[in-house]
């Protein structure tokens, strides 16, 4: 996906990615600690805006301690939604 759309993913920030497309976030901290956040599981119990706010708060609180952020996203859902939106425009 990144190879197909490098311009989309090059400057991707967590505050611009719709939470609904996230599956998992993996935070690596400078002290070696690793947190895995199952976003889909969180979405089953709360609204997307609430989860997004919690994630942004985590990023702000630990921004000096986070070494790396990896994520998995539901690429198939994203593709489907983009195709549906494109059809609606035409």
Q: What digits encode the pLDDT tens for the residues 64-83?
A: 999 998 989 888 888 888 88
Determine which helix (DSSP H) or strand (DSSP E) holds 79, and give its type and residue range.
helix 75-89
The pLDDT, as a whole number, for residue 23 is 93
Tokens of 82: 């983009």
Q: Delimit the domains of the chain by residue range.
A: 6-89
pTM, full prediction = 0.69
Tokens of 70: 């990896």
């Amino acid at each position: 996906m990144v190879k197909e759309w490098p311009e989309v993913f090059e400057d991707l920030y967590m505050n611009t990615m719709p939470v609904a497309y996230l599956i998992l976030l993996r935070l690596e901290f400078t002290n070696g600690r690793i947190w895995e956040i199952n976003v889909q599981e969180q979405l089953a119990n709360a609204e997307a805006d609430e989860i997004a706010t919690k994630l942004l708060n985590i990023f702000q609180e630990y921004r000096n301690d986070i070494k790396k952020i990896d994520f998995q996203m539901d690429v198939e859902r994203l593709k489907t939604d983009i195709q549906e939106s494109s059809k609606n425009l035409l």
